[in-house]
Amino acid sequence: MHQVAELVELEAARLPAGPVVIENVLPQIDCGKFAVKRVVGDTVVVEADVFRDGHDAIAATLLYRETSATWRRTPMLYLDNNRWTASFEILRAGSYEFTIEAWPDPFATWQAQVAKKRAAGQPLALEAIEGRALVRTALDRAAPNERAAVEAALAGIDAQRDDESRVSVMLSGEIATLVARAPDLSAATRHAPPLRVEADRRAAQFAAWYELFPRSAGTVPGKHGTFADVERRLPGVRALGFDVLYLPPIHPIGHAFRKGPNNALEAKPGDVGSPWAIGNERGGHTAIDPALGTFEDFAHLVAAARANSLEIALDYALQCSPDHPWVKEHPEWYSFRPDGSIKYAENPPKKYQDIVNFNWEGPHRRALWEALRDVVLFWIERGVHTFRVDNPHTKPFAFWEWMIAEVRARHSETIFLAEAFTRPKVMQQLAKLGFTQSYTYFTWRTTKAELTEYSEELSGPVLSEFYRPNFWPNTPDILSPVLQTGGRPAFLSRLVLAATLSSLYGIYSGYELCENAALPEREEYLDSEKYEIRVRDWDAPGNIKPQIAQINRIRRENAALQDWRNVTFYRADDEQVIFYGKQTEESVLLVAVNLDPFAARDPVLWVPTGDFKIADDEPYELEELLGETRHVWRGSPHRWRLDPQLNPAAIFRLNLRKTT
């Protein structure tokens, strides 16, 4: 008997919760393992296949909440082919979750069947009794504030003199609504586990970044710059239209194995070294290089940046100089070689003698992980809410998932940009684990086919749910071949591509001066300020500052450029010209870019008039925003000259108002 009871219990456990099936729920990532990403103000549109056996009616509702809050419900609407939908709005940054609940709907089934019988002229006496009984059971389930309305509905049914009239009352939408608000959930199915949404502030989706080295912010060659020097540059950076000012590591720099200019293995007296070799006797990740200033100076810089509508972002580099205080205080956090020497970083054949890495999987990893989390919390307390994370792909996935969740649970406004140039699956996994934004392969996508394919991949229905691409034409580590050889036209065309294909983009300082001197046969800057101080003339002839400011202004003024998921590529009859568009309810932008920095092109651009229901003979108006000219065109094909020396790109704003 005991075995029989166990078998019955086991079989009962296998029974479904109810007859309704819920599947193919969107949005979700990896069967709900990770959260999809949204920003404040977004509407999360949820869809699912919801159905049951037979022909009886069902009802479905979307449940959603900020994590740990009370569930809220909104009815789902039937689309087609068993597909249902509902939505909810993101009101503030933080973590959300949602699920779907569905159940048999006897009253809706009754209404559908009785309507058919009534149309066929069949008797309705029993149906009237059944319908009233269903309304009566709703009274038992009704919320206290709904009971009076249900009682009134029952009285209205009973007041009718014949079955036909009683049925007519019960077929009304008013009674259906009352009964629907008191559903019988005893046979309900709920999708489990709940799916998650991670919501960020808007800067996570739309921002322009500018990177500079504080030590190069001065005006005297060879003299170390300070936070005060950076502060003097703020109005100029903001005038260019940037939102985020990103600073490489500002911490004390190690002495051991300090690098000289151009990554020389031996530094001379006075050489400043690489700021990524973090830590010396003056402190580590929570200290400031005294040459830059004090904590008071830094606080003043953060406040001044805010006054200039700029946000300070800091580098979060999880590595140390051999001189870092932690090396002596916590040797258990590091790896050592058989001869007792500390193991420095390598990426064979490259060697980074001035850097040592952590032993991430050692027995003391918990203390290490907590200390590294506390570094982020330390700088958040000092007004920094955005971090560019150096080489996250070389650290454990588990650490990032834990650390980002820990920080965002306390400070949901925090933004993490993953500087990972590695295999696609690794980059994508970091985004799934919680990184807010991600570097991309844009730097190396130069042809029309490459740019089209890559942009469509990033904006597609899979990656766009979790991977926010931040396009950088250059970085301190990367000077791509197209910039080395293409001169000023290449800098302009790559700027337009980065700023319009993605809603997130950034440039490393010197880009506005079209700096392109490289080490021989390398994608690296000659005399890189990673290893030395570089003082520049920011108004040097040939600069593209006006164009940068203009493009950033166009981005701010046109909502279509504030998303990366809405790009569509159009026909241009030239393989060296790429033509694409973006639109929202507020604006329609069309962008054409000459990818050849050496020759003018006269492509035929095929405006998607059919997409906008513009007849072939109907005039329409476009404003070319870079040249500030207006045009009235008819039909789809139009020739437009793109001269790399004069106008390597064109940005058209389409006026959909009727033109006469």
* Nearest CA among 365, 424, 355, 374 for reference residue 396: 365
Three-point CA angle 409, 411, 413, nearest 5°: 120
Task: Report the alpha-carbon distance of residue 534 to residue 311 in Å, rounded.
Answer: 23
The residue annotated as part of the active site, out of 200, 289, 390, 515, is 390
* Nearest CA among 262, 259, 204 for reference residue 41: 204
Task: Report the alpha-carbon distance of residue 203 to residue 416 in Å, rounded.
Answer: 11
Catalytic residue check, 618: no
The single-letter DSSP state of residue 69 is: S
Coil, helix or strand for 293?
Answer: coil
Contact 419, 390 (CB under 8 A): yes
HEC states along 324-356?
CHHHHHCHHHECECCCCCECEEEECCEEEEEEE
Catalytic residue check, 602: no
* Nearest CA among 15, 13, 14, 22 for reference residue 189: 22
* Nearest CA among 105, 181, 180 for reference residue 143: 181
Q: For 160-186, give one letter per residue: b (16+ CB within 10 A) or e.
A: eeebeebbebbbeeebbebbbebbbee
Contact 385, 436 (CB under 8 A): no
Q: What is the dihedral of CA 400, 402, 407, 409, to 10 degrees?
A: 140
Coil, helix or strand for 312?
Answer: strand
Who's near 616: CB < 8 A, 6+ residues apart? 609, 634, 635, 636
Who's near 294: CB < 8 A, 6+ residues apart? 288
Task: Report the alpha-carbon distance of residue 649 to residue 641 in Å, rounded.
Answer: 9
Task: Report the alpha-carbon distance of residue 157 to residue 496 in Å, rounded.
Answer: 68
The residue annotated as part of the active site, out of 200, 211, 323, 419, is 419
Contact 472, 506 (CB under 8 A): yes
H or E stretch covering 581:
strand 577-583
Three-point CA angle 341, 347, 350, nearest 5°: 90
**Strands of the 20-26 sheet, one edge to the other:** 20-26, 43-52, 83-89, 77-80
Who's near 436: CB < 8 A, 6+ residues apart? 37, 200, 204, 414, 415, 416, 417, 468
Backbone angles phi and psi of 276, in degrees to 5: -80, -5
Check the CA dihedral 474-475-481-486 and report its sign: positive
Three-point CA angle 497, 592, 436, nearest 5°: 30
Beta pairing partners, 188: none
The single-letter DSSP state of residue 498 is: H
For the annotated catalytic residues, the residue numbers are 390, 419
